[in-house]
Amino acid sequence: MPKRLASTATLPLGDGAAETQAQTPAQTPAQAQPRRAAVLLPLPLAGAYDYLVPEDLEVEPGSVVTVPLGQRELFGVVWELLPEDGRPAADDGGGKALPLERLRPVIDVCPVPPLTAVARRFLAWVSDYTLAAPGAVLRMALSSPSALEPPRPVTLYRRAEQPLPADLRLTPARRRVLEEMEESPARPLAEIAAAAGVGTSVVKGLEKAGVVEA
């Protein structure tokens, strides 16, 4: 289990621009991205966990990432990037941080904008003010993990250009679908079915017959 680091309440509440500059210094070609990240998870935990940042991933404070926790994969927010040798945790009596080789790696970076420094400071303030665990406050802020997932592709359907097969059985429901799709732009399956007053299986049946194509 990655070592727990300092609570999110340690984030300064001063000038946002100054904090951003302090947390994301300009990198030169000779500087490598820190490979240790403190990731806050949307769980009722007191602080963040250390994770290893793979060399092929680019993260910054505020990046939304997926990380392993036990047998699960969870969304989390990179609260800060740390030196490779870590630092003593604020809540463990000054013990040494786990070495990099014992850390579990970040799985991926989600294709969403990073959580801003202002937002992270606000979450820290809410945690302090309400005495709630920082991870619990983060969970409320994120609302739902599905909101962080990339949008699922939508399949659009249209009338095929070829003539109707001679052996096609045209039921009233199928006729309504074909009439609805006549000279109509491609649309989602559910929208076509609702407009024609039929079930989606009718449209799928026409697709199988080669009359409708996706």
Burial class (CB in 10 A: 0-12, 13-18, 19+), 214: exposed
Q: Phi/psi class of residue 62: alpha, beta or left (left: φ > 0; alpha: ψ in -120 to 50)?
A: left
Q: Phi/psi class of residue 197: alpha, beta or left (left: φ > 0; alpha: ψ in -120 to 50)?
A: left
Question: 200 pLDDT band (50/70/90 cuts)?
Answer: very high
Confidence (pLDDT) at 151: 67
CATH number of 8-148: 3.40.1440.60
Helices 200-208/189-196 angle, 10° precision = 110
Q: What is the mean pLDDT of residues 19-46?
A: 64
Question: 102 pLDDT band (50/70/90 cuts)?
Answer: confident
Confidence (pLDDT) at 33: 59
Across all residues in the chain, what is the average pLDDT?
78
Confidence (pLDDT) at 158: 93
DSSP class per residue in 15-77 = -HHHHHHHHSPPPPTTPPPPSEEEEE-SSS-SS-EEEE--TT----TT-EEEEEETTEEEEEE
Question: 55 pLDDT band (50/70/90 cuts)?
Answer: confident
Range from 49-53, 137-141, 209-213 carrying the lowest mean pLDDT: 137-141
Confidence (pLDDT) at 11: 41
β-pairing, 72-82 vs 108-109, is unpaired
